[in-house]
Amino acid sequence: MLQKRILFITVLIFMMMAGLLGRLMQIQLFQAENFSENNVNLIKESVRQRTHELILDDGRGQFLDRDGNPLSFEEKSVLVIFPFIKNMDWNSSEVAKILNISHRDLINQVEASREPVLAGGKDPLLLTEQQAENINQLQIPGVFAVKKKILPEHPPAGQFIGIYGENEEIFKTRYPDKDWRNKAVGLSGLEKTFDEFLQAESETKFVYHVDGVGNPLFGIDVKYAGQANPFFPLEAKTTIDQSLQKEIEALLDEHHIQKGGAILLDVKTNDILAVASRPHINSKDPFLDEGSKNMMFKQLIPGSVFKTVVAAAAIEEGIVEEKDQFRCDLDIRGNPAERNLGRLNFEESFARSCNRTFAELAGSLMEKDPMILENYARKLGLLEAVSWQGDVFQLSGFKQFEHDPGRIFADNDSRKDRNFIAQTGIGQQEVRLSPISVANMMAAIARGGEKMTVRAVSEIQYGDGTTMASFDRQQPDGERISPFAAIKLQQLLRKVVTDPEGTGHMMNDLPYQVAGKTGTAETSVIHEGQQLHHKWFAGYFPFDDPQYVLVTVNMDVPGDQGGVNPLFADIVQMIYGQKQTEVDHAVPSG
């Protein structure tokens, strides 16, 4: 009996040891690189536990402005401090003196550190070139002044460039064959659409090994692990003029635009020169509120800006003549109008934004063809995607950016209702257009009806600055308005400014001749007993030689507040001033 028990216990111990040995072989030999259902790489994890590192550059590609200067980041000198120096005698007083900080503050930060840190913590000290040079001349092990990519709290064109961050679910959906391991992925804006080009190949970092209690394992040697491939990371060269972008951002804040923005296009190329949106991105929680949304790419009620489409259709279809008179003393329902404009002809109606005229014209047009307003909106580039799109390497139908589509009617029933049609003719009811689409329309009119896709990025560059892929200018398929109609629209848009009673007359004394259209769109939002509006001005300049299209929008403001004509005017003045400065610098003195 005793022998049987001994045999049983021996076999049991042997089986347990065999099981443990098998488990050990599984961990160390068979599944060392893909252990468990989570596919954990145990070799990498063991190295990571013995390693302290400080990442200087996550290796993700970045965005440049049209001149090749950093747009989405700044490269600054910072001070890196490794914790092992707390056990050394080092020249801390001289370092504090160079940094112009308290010696005690520097020592406290070092004493509190367990891993490599940046001097200054979460808001690191930014060093001058001279400070960085002086620090490195001290040759203190574990104390280095290095270049680091810094992401500003409110970068230029923040919503346009977009947001990126760590999201395992999105990463694995987008790249099922790639190893995630804390890699960032584009979540909005150009960061999202260009994500495949911007994915990190490797990081730039300082590395050193530690034992179980955090002491240096191989002495105080610190390794610098940099980008091994000179062609990466890739960089996207945008069409943004950074100087204009920053000035427009400042003017939005100066005019207290809480929600809305401005977009500036180059008429000849249809490139985006600047695009600014409010509210600002919440740096602590980007998706907490509307700050992450680019309002210039969102569907908005356009109000009287849409009268441009009705005017184009009326001209092309020949349903209006110069001698025609309209009862602008009445509103669209035939009741006395709040703004009694008297009897006006077609041009005067457009310049002074008579609702009655365009409600009647919309009704006449819809009797001819229930799809006519959509057809002309499409001819003006308002309904289709305006972004550059095409095949780029293995990416078929690649679009540079995403924006909300335009809409005229939500359903067919609305086309049969005369009241709905009247409201539609003045840009209300179910009409929705994005500011970038409106800018695209104005650019087409300024070019005589010629449509082009909108470019946000001109090329993808390798890390050494050579071109990997370029995005040539495109003309989209589809119909366009006639040159005759374009010329008539140009005249109408100009009269909005030149007519002493025009809604844009305040622009008449600007250094550039402006043509454009105002819009005051009623929303369904009531705040503190007041109906809120979207205020628009969309136009181009100079009139005789169009160079710029500008659309400004102030959203959700009371009817008697928040007009954007002054903002539009100040942006025009700013651009003129910059151009004059460039001319003055180009002309040699004496």
- Class of residue 153 by CB neighbours under 10 A (exposed 0-12, middle 13-18, buried 19+): exposed
- CA-nearest of 358, 300, 308, 350 to 534 is 300
Instruction: Give me the residues paired with residue 51 across strands.
Output: 209
How many CB atoms are closer than 10 A to CB 23? Answer: 10
Give the Cα separation of 476 and 387 in Å (integer).
Answer: 10
Give the Cα separation of 517 and 512 in Å (integer).
Answer: 16
User: What tokens were used for 81?
Assistant: 């401090």
- CA 336 to centroid of chain Cα atoms: 45
- Class of residue 150 by CB neighbours under 10 A (exposed 0-12, middle 13-18, buried 19+): middle
User: What tokens were used for 13?
Assistant: 């111990």
What is the four-CA torsion angle of 56, 58, 61, 65, rounded to 10 degrees?
-40
Give the Cα separation of 171 and 178 in Å (integer).
Answer: 9
Give the Cα separation of 93 and 106 in Å (integer).
Answer: 9
Instruction: Give me the residues paired with residue 271 across strands.
Output: 455
Cis, peptide link before residue 233, omega less than 30° from 0: yes
- CA-nearest of 572, 519, 561 to 350 is 519
Exposed e or buried b per residue across 442-453, where buried means at least 16 C-beta atoms within 10 angstroms of its C-beta = bbbbbbbbebbb
User: What tokens were used for 361?
Assistant: 């014209």
| Strands 62-64, 235-238: pairing kind | parallel
**Given 72, 304, 434, 458, which residue is catalytic?**
304
User: What tokens were used for 407?
Assistant: 């809409």
Helix (H, G, I), strand (E, B) or coil at 489: helix
Helix (H, G, I), strand (E, B) or coil at 255: coil
Based on the residue annotation, tell me whether 77 is a catalytic residue of this protein.
no
Phi–psi pair at 573, nearest 5 degrees? -60, -45
Contact (Cβ atoms closer than 8 angstroms) between residue 134 and residue 162? no
Cis, peptide link before residue 279, omega less than 30° from 0: yes
Give the Cα separation of 101 and 162 in Å (integer).
Answer: 35
Give the Cα separation of 458 and 60 in Å (integer).
Answer: 19
Give the Cα separation of 305 and 496 in Å (integer).
Answer: 12
Active site positions, annotated = 304
